Amino acid sequence: MRDIYFGLVMWGIALVTIVAYVVRALLRGRARSARTDADGGSVFLDKRAMEYAYWLLDPLINLLISLRVTPNMVTGFSMIPALGAGVAIAFGWFGLASMLGTIATLSDIVDGVIARRTGVSSDAGEVVDAAVDRYGEFFLMGGLIFYYRDTWSVLLLALAATVGAFMISYSTAKAEAVRVPPPRGAMRRSERAVYLIAAAGLTSITKVIFADTPTLSLREAPMILSIAIVAGVANVSAVQRLAAIIHLLRARQPPPRAADAEETDGIVTKRETPIPGGG
């Protein structure tokens, strides 16, 4: 019964701050920033939601900068709640997992903003941040896989969501490695985190409301639905991104010149260059 308190606290904070932001937007306009304008949001995470998150974190970011907290400190700290969220969800503490997952996800936003504002952004820092992100996401997905290990249908969805999540990250890294613009797509890390963390908070409530119902799909409907959405959209998005990268690479590669190759009976052979003075 106590786990529901974490979920209720998280949803209470979310509702109060959302109302405060709406009032602020009505009186002073939306909290726009170069970062949110450049990102643009997507169907699964609207730009207004991103503006709300940056507005909410701005006072904390200013405080941390004044205390000389470095981006790497925040990045390292984010591993602690991320691991805690994975352990909590592995044992069915969805409300606690929602709270810890929120702290880890917000920390991921904070370290990047601090790095940009203090002018210490670097390629090395981005590598560290990306690696920590992968570990943090694995903790959460691993917790879900462990929790649903005896329910094969949901287990398959959790495994598919994990594969889709890491393939999206891989496609971005691969695009950067071969020097083509990483294609935009749905269900990026921030979107996956929002869906799964929000679902965890709701599931802590539905588990209590439908405690006497023997049907798992009803007691934990928000989480199961969220996993299914992430699994489906992430894998489709990963395939689309990889296809876009392949298309860009093929467009960049020049076609073979007729002087360098000729086709004979369906076999392409190189044309030899005659040696000067040869017989």
Would the pLDDT of 41 be above 50?
yes
pLDDT category at 188 given cuts 50, 70, 90 is confident
What DSSP element (H or E) covers 17?
helix 3-28
Residue 185 is predicted with a pLDDT of: 74
Would the pLDDT of 253 be above 80?
no
Burial of residue 172, with CB atoms counted within 10 A of its CB: 0-12 exposed, 13-18 middle, 19 or more buried = buried
Separation between Cα atoms, residue 68 and residue 168, nearest integer Å? 34
pLDDT category at 39 given cuts 50, 70, 90 is low
Residue 182 is predicted with a pLDDT of: 77
Asked if the structure places residue 260 within a domain, the reply is: no
Residue 279 is predicted with a pLDDT of: 41
Rounded mean pLDDT, 138-144? 94
Asked if the structure places residue 237 within a domain, the reply is: yes
Q: What does pLDDT average to over the chain?
A: 85
Quote the domain boundaries for residue 170. 3-120+128-253
Separation between Cα atoms, residue 274 and residue 228, nearest integer Å? 63
Rounded mean pLDDT, 259-268? 52
Asked if the structure places residue 213 within a domain, the reply is: yes
Separation between Cα atoms, residue 15 and residue 111, nearest integer Å? 25
Asked if the structure places residue 105 within a domain, the reply is: yes
Separation between Cα atoms, residue 122 and residue 131, nearest integer Å? 14
**Tens of pLDDT, residues 117-138:** 888 877 787 888 888 988 999 9
Contact 129, 189 (CB under 8 A): no
Asked if the structure places residue 53 within a domain, the reply is: yes
Domain count of the chain? 1
Rounded mean pLDDT, 75-91? 94
Structure tokens at 111: 């370290």
Q: Rounded to two decimals, what is the model's pTM?
A: 0.82
Asked if the structure places residue 268 within a domain, the reply is: no
pLDDT: which is higher, 19 or 271: 19
Residue 256 is predicted with a pLDDT of: 65
**CATH code at 60?**
1.20.120.1760
For the ranges 57-61, 121-125, 143-147, the one whose mean pLDDT is highest: 143-147
Nearest to 230 by CA among 202, 198, 200, 191: 191
**Tens of pLDDT, residues 155-166:** 999 999 999 999
Asked if the structure places residue 262 within a domain, the reply is: no
Rounded mean pLDDT, 217-231? 93
Residue 278 is predicted with a pLDDT of: 47
pLDDT category at 1 given cuts 50, 70, 90 is low
Rounded mean pLDDT, 217-236? 93
For the ranges 2-16, 28-42, 118-132, 265-279, the one whose mean pLDDT is highest: 2-16
Asked if the structure places residue 273 within a domain, the reply is: no
